[in-house]
Structure 1
Amino acid sequence: MQSEHTQKDDIINDATLVVATGCASIAGVKPVNEDAVAVHTPTDRHAMSSKGTAVLIADGVSSAEAGREASDYAVKHFIEEYFRTPDTWSAKQAGQKTLTTINLNLFKQSHEFTRQEKGYLCTFSGLVLKSRTAHFFHAGDSRIYRCRDGVITQLTRDHSINIGGGKNILARAVGMDNILQVDYGKSVLEEGDVFLLTTDGVHDFIDEEKLTKLLSDERKPQQQCERIIAEAKMANSDDNISCAIAKVDKLPAESRDDFNTKLTRLPFPPDLEPGMKLDGYRIDQALFASSRSQVYLVTDLETDEQMVMKTPSLNFQDDVHYIDRFIQEEWIGKRINSEYVVKVITQNRPRTFLYYLMEYVPGISLDKWMIDHPLPSPKKAITLVKQIAAALAAFHNTETIHQDLKPANIIVDDAMKIKVIDFGSVFVAGIAEIFIPIEHLGALGTATYSDPYYLQGRNTGIQGDIYALATITYELFTGELPYGERIEQYVNSHDFDKLRYISATDHNPIIPLWFDRALEKGVSLDIPKRYRSLQDYVDDITRPNPEFLKDDPAIDNSKGLLFWQMMSAFWVAMLILVVILFSTTG
């Protein structure tokens, strides 16, 4: 991705598009190459039709400690994330949301530095060629040109400010702010169009007239890239030197609607019955149905592989916000890579209805498992909790909050391994236009495990997921809920003010004091007192926190103290054994 000289020369052979590409990058006179260039062309026909090909260039900000890492990350993760987005998203939507998540991650890393203008910063220019349209995304002073019929046009504008003395500073870059303003544009393609992406090590030293001549010869794009690099070097470029080229050799015979528009207009599937076939999948049985969606066990008739198909409810076929959120579920699932989270399957066949596929996970939901295994041993309970925490960490690593973690959304198999299986209520930081609180579903149990602040329209982020995890932990060890069953009927702040934590020892007297206080902190309705990180919570339920043993009125004599010390020692020994066994088997 980032090297002294990156080469690529691809021809895309697709029924709808033929494009030749090339790219090159060198450090030039500088000791380190902070530029990154890449071209990605799907080999799968369906992916090519739905996503197109991507040509990318980024320039790390030289005044930042991690400019090189930032440019490499931006280019690499755009390719990874863009091609994971749902087929039903437009190129514009997929590109903008992908860049927004990349920016937020770099901004978070940049804030680890205290000095101004230091951190993970880079420019970014991305070109996506799809069907008969060029889509481009831009931030910074790298550039995208189009050369058509011997005339070169700069499609992007430099986001820089002249401060005098021949010096410019960047006004916009990826990682500079928590909200990235991305310039988006599109251009109708014509056969023979040549697109050139450059960093300032090229366009500051080669004028447009010279670039036009270099792009107008009969050389292949890779050879043209190498010649442009050589020309910039001869022109005494004092920066890293990078460029990428895409040449449109052939277009589709006729225009068509954007693939996203085409697919989002697909009809919702009807209610499906066992034996029915849909897009090469046989419906085996219905697994779940609610007012919002249906889930079926299906078999791929080509591979004989069993999968799970989720379909939207016909109740919402005219609700554009519901449709967009349903489509987003697929994208979220593709972004999360964890053995404790169900995998969303990338489809290689066109869809005639709106749905998505997931891996089939055998087992039972955790709520049913707890009925079959009331008050499991501490070893089993902690094993489950640690896996659920690992699943949540995978969500949080992609700036995603689950928001609706509950036992019904967790599958436990015969080997005591869990998978979180639902993405319907997640919140992705940086791309959500508005926080959508969890619905109060009463008997369905959502309010039982979700942070009460969600139900009041307040986003507590990671702390909300910790609340749900601590509630599940409490239930595993006691068979009850930390605020009792009445919480399901509460709907506003006045109701929640009446709630009082019920000590876990009231239900299970063998539970140590330190463990109970960790649970209490995990489900605290006073947000500043609640855990702020998953790891801190897991640490405190697997070994005694000395702070939780201070000033306990229950410990009023030496015998009581000795009892709790013995019980705590017993739990520590048991939990250490669990950790050792779990790490060796997992």
Structure 2
Amino acid sequence: MAGGPPRDLTVSVGQHSAAGRKAANQDFHGILVPPQPGRGLKGVAVALADGISSSAAGAAASQTAVTSFLSDYYATPDTWSVKNAAQQVIAATNSWLYAQTRRGSDPNDVDRGYVTTFDALVLKARAAHLFHVGDGRIWRVAGRSLEQLTEDHRVVVSAAESYLGRALGAGGRVEIDYLRLATEPGDVFVLTTDGVHEHLRPRDIAAAVANADDLDEAARTIVEMALAAGSPDNLTVQIVRVTSLPEGEPTDLLGDVEGLDPAPLLEPPAEFDGYRLLHVLHTGPRSRVYRAIDAETGAHVALKVLSLDLRDDPAQRRRFAMEEWIARRIDSPHVLKAHPQGRRRSHLYTVMRYVEGQTLAQWMRDHAAPDLETVRKLLDQLARGVQAFHRREMVHQDLRPDNVLIDASGTVQVIDFGATKVAGVVEGDPRIDPAEILGTVQYTAPECFLGESATAASDVFSVGVIAYQMLTGRLPYGDAVPRARTRAAQRKLRYASALMVRPLLPVWIDGALRKAVHPNPLRRYQALSELMHDLRHPNPAFTDARRASLLERDPLQFWRLLSLVLFIVALTLAAVLVAQKAR
């Protein structure tokens, strides 16, 4: 299948299936090559299933597995990685097939249930993603033979007896083998059911594929060869040849917007692209934000334009354009929404809904010592907003009080997605996930200063710092985190107990804050829901009846006092020695 701009992923495909010597064909297969931008976002998907021959429901199981994958995979969020999206879909299909078996006349006999092998290949950008359950096989042509990329899940009892050790629909849960491979133009992948590969040598299959112009005909030839070799089973072959790959950058995900020139910096009042600019809301190093009115609808909006210093940087322009793309893919009352856009734009800018209110930074200046319950209520909403990013495999990366809005009704909303990492987009081009620090350093997780990629746990750290600051007005490590750029330096970071500022706080609240901002992401909360639970319910790990020691509450003061005590002891010993010599 040719076509598309030269920087697109393009493939040639062929497939053929036959019942062979059996009365019915219980194999099922399919290939989906979507147009852009879907091909750039989700890739090309190939799926093959072989229903078990002992069950009358085998054909229904294999058809369900393939059709569900090819439809549901493309229905998952654009922001998800291939691995997450595919595994979620396969697991859901397995649960449905298993439920059908349990509803059957003999729910305990999987040999008569909705059971099938399953293999899927997803080609996205410059990588191949393989998913495998059962004894179908995925191969890659390697010279004059084939390289087997999957391992058969078949248990051999004897030379005459074997059975499937793993299959879709055989149990409530399924373990899915996953493999990711780099691809090159000219790579050829072959998927086969056991009716083919148990009766042909890999080199015979490779020979039929080599230099074939018509891959459908090549697949048909392989099936006929297996039949001639005595195969008694159903037979299916799929062939995918990679004809071209993107040159590094992902394909156009943003439509016409990405190619536009950045909007000019205007002085309000002014008319621009159907908006009436009223006044400037914010000017920063990366952007300027105006309050404006959509002349067509009368809605108040926040219109953002790129700063002059960044508009010649393609990476900054793309990141800026992604903000609105991200906002349109998150549906949460605690995440700022994009303004509906019904007309073409003349320049690159973003338009978000205008929220009347104040930032959390302003709120903290007005509430120097807020009560614990007020802080909890605001943090609950902030956490729900950030979790909306995490559910779509996004990491905000710039959570700070200035990027949290509180509207007139008290609703909290997360704003500013210019630093947000989107797994599904980074997967298309890893260079989009640079090692540079994109967020504000006081709230950035320590691992980011080591050059590690930000994760959901990095956002947990940022929320933990915000929570600590709301309660104390300080930062848990002062200004030490941005300067700790080695693991050894980070191990020396010392948490300053919130009890030093708020001694009446419950000890277990301080314990939850300490865990949320732990320098080691593996020892941090892995989900914000865990932090919010521990801020409302005493965690037994933090409920030691004693008050926290001075070393825990203020390490610096502890060492100062210890030094003073040692100095006094030394003076006392010196005085004793002097007195003894004087006798």
The equivalent of 2:81 in structure 1 is: 101
Cα distance per residue 1:30-53 (max 9 Å; x no partner):
789886979999xxxxx9xx999x
Q: Judging changes above 3 Å, is the alpha-carbon distance between structure 1 residues 554 and 376 closer, same or farther for their aligned structure 2 residues? A: closer
Cα distance per residue 1:190-233 (max 9 Å; x no partner):
xxxxxxxxx999xx9xxx99x99xxxxxxxxxxxxxxxxxxxxx
Is 1:75 aligned to residue 71 of structure 2? Answer: yes
The equivalent of 2:109 in structure 1 is: none
CA apart distance, 1:409: 0.6
The equivalent of 2:291 in structure 1 is: 297
Is 1:490 aligned to residue 483 of structure 2? Answer: yes
Alignment of 1:22-41 (within 5 A): none
The equivalent of 2:47 in structure 1 is: 59
Amino acid at match of 1:105: A
Aligned to 1:287, what secondary structure does the other structure show? Answer: strand
Amino acid at match of 1:436: P
Q: Judging changes above 3 Å, is the alpha-carbon distance between structure 1 residues 449 and 106 closer, same or farther for their aligned structure 2 residues? A: same
Q: Distance in 1 between matches of 2:411 and 2:305?
A: 26
Q: Distance in 1 between matches of 2:360 and 2:466?
A: 10
Q: Residues 35 and 240 of structure 1 are in contact (CA less than 8 Å); yes or no, is this contact kept in structure 2?
A: no
Q: Distance in 1 between matches of 2:253 and 2:543?
A: 61
Q: Residues 390 and 456 of structure 2 are in contact (CA less than 8 Å); yes or no, is this contact kept in structure 1?
A: yes
Q: Distance in 2 between matches of 1:240 and 1:341?
A: 47
Is 1:383 aligned to residue 377 of structure 2? Answer: yes
2:328 to 316, 326, 334: 334
CA apart distance, 1:421: 0.7
Cα distance per residue 1:81-118 (max 9 Å; x no partner):
56xxxxxxxxxxxxxxx7x72344324787999xxxx9
Amino acid at match of 1:72: S
Is 1:359 aligned to residue 353 of structure 2? Answer: yes
Report percent identity of matched pairs: 27
CA apart distance, 1:543: 0.4
CA apart distance, 1:437: 4.2
Q: Judging changes above 3 Å, is the alpha-carbon distance between structure 1 residues 451 and 140 closer, same or farther for their aligned structure 2 residues? A: closer
Alignment of 1:544-555 (within 5 A): 544-550=538-544, 552=546
Amino acid at match of 2:85: N
The equivalent of 2:468 in structure 1 is: 474
CA apart distance, 1:359: 2.0
Amino acid at match of 1:302: E
Amino acid at match of 2:476: P
Aligned to 2:410, what secondary structure does the other structure show? Answer: coil
Q: Distance in 1 between matches of 2:535 and 2:498?
A: 13
Q: Distance in 2 between matches of 1:393 and 1:349?
A: 32
Alignment of 1:484-563 (within 5 A): 484=478, 486-487=479-480, 490=483, 492-493=485-486, 496=490, 499-550=493-544, 552=546
Q: Judging changes above 3 Å, is the alpha-carbon distance between structure 1 residues 414 and 57 closer, same or farther for their aligned structure 2 residues? A: same
CA apart distance, 1:74: 5.1
Q: Residues 50 and 118 of structure 2 are in contact (CA less than 8 Å); yes or no, is this contact kept in structure 1?
A: no
Is 1:457 aligned to residue 451 of structure 2? Answer: yes
Aligned to 1:532, what secondary structure does the other structure show? Answer: coil
Q: Distance in 1 between matches of 2:327 and 2:184?
A: 27
Q: Residues 359 and 402 of structure 2 are in contact (CA less than 8 Å); yes or no, is this contact kept in structure 1?
A: yes
Q: Judging changes above 3 Å, is the alpha-carbon distance between structure 1 residues 400 and 62 closer, same or farther for their aligned structure 2 residues? A: farther
The equivalent of 2:434 in structure 1 is: 436
The equivalent of 1:581 in structure 2 is: none
Is 1:414 aligned to residue 412 of structure 2? Answer: no
Segment drifting more, 460-469 vs 272-281: 272-281
Aligned to 1:433, what secondary structure does the other structure show? Answer: helix
Q: Residues 38 and 55 of structure 1 are in contact (CA less than 8 Å); yes or no, is this contact kept in structure 2?
A: yes
Aligned to 1:315, what secondary structure does the other structure show? Answer: coil
Q: Distance in 2 between matches of 1:380 and 1:119?
A: 54
Is 1:270 aligned to residue 258 of structure 2? Answer: no
Q: Distance in 2 between matches of 1:385 and 1:323?
A: 32
Q: Judging changes above 3 Å, is the alpha-carbon distance between structure 1 residues 274 and 496 closer, same or farther for their aligned structure 2 residues? A: same
Amino acid at match of 1:106: A
CA apart distance, 1:276: 2.0
Q: Judging changes above 3 Å, is the alpha-carbon distance between structure 1 residues 138 and 75 closer, same or farther for their aligned structure 2 residues? A: farther
CA apart distance, 1:121: 5.3
Relative to the length of structure 1, the TM-score reads: 0.58
Q: Distance in 2 between matches of 1:474 and 1:259?
A: 38
Q: Distance in 2 between matches of 1:483 and 1:324?
A: 34
Q: Judging changes above 3 Å, is the alpha-carbon distance between structure 1 residues 60 and 322 closer, same or farther for their aligned structure 2 residues? A: same
Cα distance per residue 1:402-424 (max 9 Å; x no partner):
12111111111122211101111
Q: Judging changes above 3 Å, is the alpha-carbon distance between structure 1 residues 59 and 239 closer, same or farther for their aligned structure 2 residues? A: farther
Q: Distance in 2 between matches of 1:348 and 1:183?
A: 40
CA apart distance, 1:392: 1.6
CA apart distance, 1:271: 0.9
Q: Distance in 2 between matches of 1:31 and 1:466?
A: 48
Q: Distance in 1 between matches of 2:353 and 2:447?
A: 33
Alignment of 1:50-449 (within 5 A): 59=47, 61-62=49-50, 68=64, 72=68, 75-76=71-72, 78=74, 101-107=81-87, 122-123=120-121, 160=139, 177=178, 179=180, 263-345=257-339, 347-429=341-423, 430-431=426-427, 432-433=430-431, 435-437=433-435, 439=437, 446-449=440-443
Amino acid at match of 2:431: E
Q: 5+ residue gaps in structure 2?
A: 1-18, 53-60, 95-115, 132-136, 152-175, 197-212, 218-232, 239-250, 550-583
Q: What is the aligned-residue RMSD (CA, Å)?
A: 5.2
Q: Residues 137 and 184 of structure 1 are in contact (CA less than 8 Å); yes or no, is this contact kept in structure 2?
A: no
The equivalent of 1:251 in structure 2 is: none
Q: Judging changes above 3 Å, is the alpha-carbon distance between structure 1 residues 342 and 544 closer, same or farther for their aligned structure 2 residues? A: same
Cα distance per residue 1:330-373 (max 9 Å; x no partner):
33222222221112345332221111222222211111111122
Relative to the length of structure 2, the TM-score reads: 0.58
Cα distance per residue 1:173-201 (max 9 Å; x no partner):
xx86464657899xxxxxxxxxxxxx999
CA apart distance, 1:259: 10
Higher Rg of the two aligned structures:
2
Amino acid at match of 2:483: Y
Q: Distance in 2 between matches of 1:478 and 1:334?
A: 35
Q: Residues 27 and 234 of structure 2 are in contact (CA less than 8 Å); yes or no, is this contact kept in structure 1?
A: no
Amino acid at match of 2:323: E
Q: Distance in 2 between matches of 1:390 and 1:258?
A: 31
Cα distance per residue 1:110-140 (max 9 Å; x no partner):
7999xxxx998534699xxxxxxxx999988
Q: Judging changes above 3 Å, is the alpha-carbon distance between structure 1 residues 329 and 61 closer, same or farther for their aligned structure 2 residues? A: farther
Q: Distance in 1 between matches of 2:277 and 2:66?
A: 46
The equivalent of 2:12 in structure 1 is: none
Aligned to 2:461, what secondary structure does the other structure show? Answer: helix
The equivalent of 2:248 in structure 1 is: none
Q: Distance in 1 between matches of 2:547 and 2:365?
A: 34
